[in-house]
Amino acid sequence: MTSRAASCPNCGAPLVYRWSSSVQTVCEYCRSIVVRTDVDMKKVGQVADLPYDGSPIQLSTEGRYGDKGFVVAGRILYQYDQGTWNEWRIVLDGGIDGWLSDAQNALAVSFLTSGLEIPTLAQASLGRSFVWNGTPFTVVSRTLAHYAGVEGELPFEYWDKTEVTFVDLRSEGADFATIDYSDETPALYIGKAVDFDTVRLRNVRTFEGW
């Protein structure tokens, strides 16, 4: 874990990229979205205040996935017609990038895959099944969402996207997959649905009365 210090091109406040794979961060002071272009920093946009949300997870929350520990480094908040959900960018022991999605406290951990065949959005209709790495996955939801905010460090440039379609899939063995159709080439993330007992979150938000 090599920290790199720089200053915000907008307000001059100190910026730290804690993870080498981080490409983008949000300035904690002026909320500028800052993208790293090798050594220089460039302000590409600004985020509004994140909507008030109820997730117990926050930046620097720690947890476990399998035999590895992880720490939360960043977040993308999505809004859809039923509400919101978070995709928390996690960094696992050894610097592996992953995502902890949190939809009304339903948790899943997934990792970007490559080289697997991804169906088109039209093919991925509710109830259709696809086999990846020998595991059959079935489409359980199709969600049209839009980006509602970012926070912390992300491994790619991500801001100001408009409409995004996500397809979620599950297996008979708690495997979880999600396809992100926001780019021309869809991205497939595969992992596991997890629960609070197994991820053992620490440094979570506290709630009045709880």
Name which position in 7, 20, 123, 141 contacts another protein (CB under 8 A).
141
Considering only residues 7, 20, 105, 123, which one is a binding residue for another protein as defined by CB under 8 A?
105
Contact 191, 111 (CB under 8 A): yes
**Residue numbers 52-91 binding another protein by CB under 8 A:** 52-56, 58, 60, 81-84
Out of 51, 68, 93, 123, which residue is the one contacting another protein (CB under 8 A)?
51
Query: Which of 94, 115, 127, 134 contacts another protein by CB under 8 A?
Result: 127
Decide: is 134 part of the binding site for another protein (CB under 8 A).
Answer: no
Count CB atoms within 10 A of the CB of residue 84: 20
Which H or E element spans position 196?
A: helix 196-199
**Which stretch, 39-47, 113-121, 153-161, 170-178, contacts another protein (CB under 8 A)?**
170-178
- Which amino acid would we find at residue 140? V
We find the least distance from the C-beta atom of residue 77 to another protein, in angstroms, to be 10
- Residue among 106, 116, 121, 131 that touches another protein (CB under 8 A): 106
Residue 178 engages another protein in binding (rule: CB under 8 A): no
Q: Which of 187, 21, 17, 3 is nearest to 92 (CA)?
A: 21
Long-range contacts of 178-187 (CB under 8 A, 24+ apart): 178/101, 178/108, 178/110, 179/118, 179/119, 179/124, 181/121, 186/118, 186/120, 186/121, 187/112, 187/118
Instruction: Tell whether residue 195 is a contact of another protein (CB under 8 A).
Output: yes
Separation CA 44–CA 34 (nearest Å): 6
Q: Which residues, numbered 148-167, are part of the site for another protein (CB under 8 A)? A: none
101 interacts with another protein by CB under 8 A: no
**Tokens representing residue 151 in the block:** 């926070």
Which residues bind to another protein, rule: CB under 8 A? 51-56, 58, 60, 81-84, 104-106, 108, 125-127, 129, 138-143, 170-176, 193-196, 201-210
